[in-house]
Amino acid sequence: EGGMGAVYKARHKALDRIVCVKILSPALANDKKAVDLFITEARAIAELDHPNIVNVYNVGKEKGYYFIVMSFIEGQTLSAMLKKQKVLTTGLVLDLFDGVLQGLDAAHAKGIIHRDIKPSNILITPEGQAKVVDFGIAKKIEKDKSTTKTTELAGTAYFIAPEQALGRDLDTRADLYSIGASMYYVLTGHFPYSG
C-alpha cells in the first residue's frame, strides 16, 4: 500500500496467470488529478513492450474502483536487496543498471520520461533481471516539443534532477540524472548530496 493506493497479487481468470492489480485509493477516485496520473501510468506502460519494463494487460474502472492489471514480477526491489545484502558487487550493479538503461531507452524512444527512477522503483527478478516499475508520474513529451514542463514538484528528492526540483522543463536527461544518483547510492550507501 502507498499514498496512491494498493497493489494486490491476483489470478487473472481469462489469462490463467498470476498478475498484479494496482487499485487507486477510493479516497482519490473523485480527485481528477489523481485519476489522471493513474490513467497516465497505465497508458505510459501499455505503450512499452520491453523485457526491462513491467507489462500492462488492462486498465479500467469497475464499481467505482480504478485499476491497472500488470505482470506480476517475482523478486524484490533494488532497495530491499540493498537492505539485505548491504554491499552489492560492482559487476552486479552494472548489469542491473544496464537493464534499467535499456528499459528507459525504450521508454524515451516513445517519448516517455519516467521522472521517478530510484532503487525502490527497480524490481529485481530471481534471475537477476532489472524491471522498471511505477510510471505513476511519467510524462509524455509532446511530439512537437523536445521537453515537458512540470508545474509541480514530483519525484523523490534525493534522486531527482535539479531542473525537476526547480519545476523547469524536462527531457530524458532528467531520468539519466536519476539513474546516476541511484547508482551512486547503491554503490556507496550514501545519497549524492545531503540537505
Best CA proximity match to 54, nearest among 15, 12, 95, 21 = 21
Rounded Cα distance between 185 and 182, Å, is: 5
Best CA proximity match to 57, nearest among 93, 12, 102 = 12
For the chain, the farthest-separated pair of C-alpha atoms sits apart, in whole angstroms, at 50
Burial zone of 41 (CB within 10 Å; 0-12 exposed, 13-18 middle, 19+ buried): buried
Catalytic annotation, residues: 116
Q: Which residues have C-beta within 8 Å of that of residue 16, sequence separation ≥ 6?
A: none
DSSP state of 148: B
Burial zone of 162 (CB within 10 Å; 0-12 exposed, 13-18 middle, 19+ buried): exposed
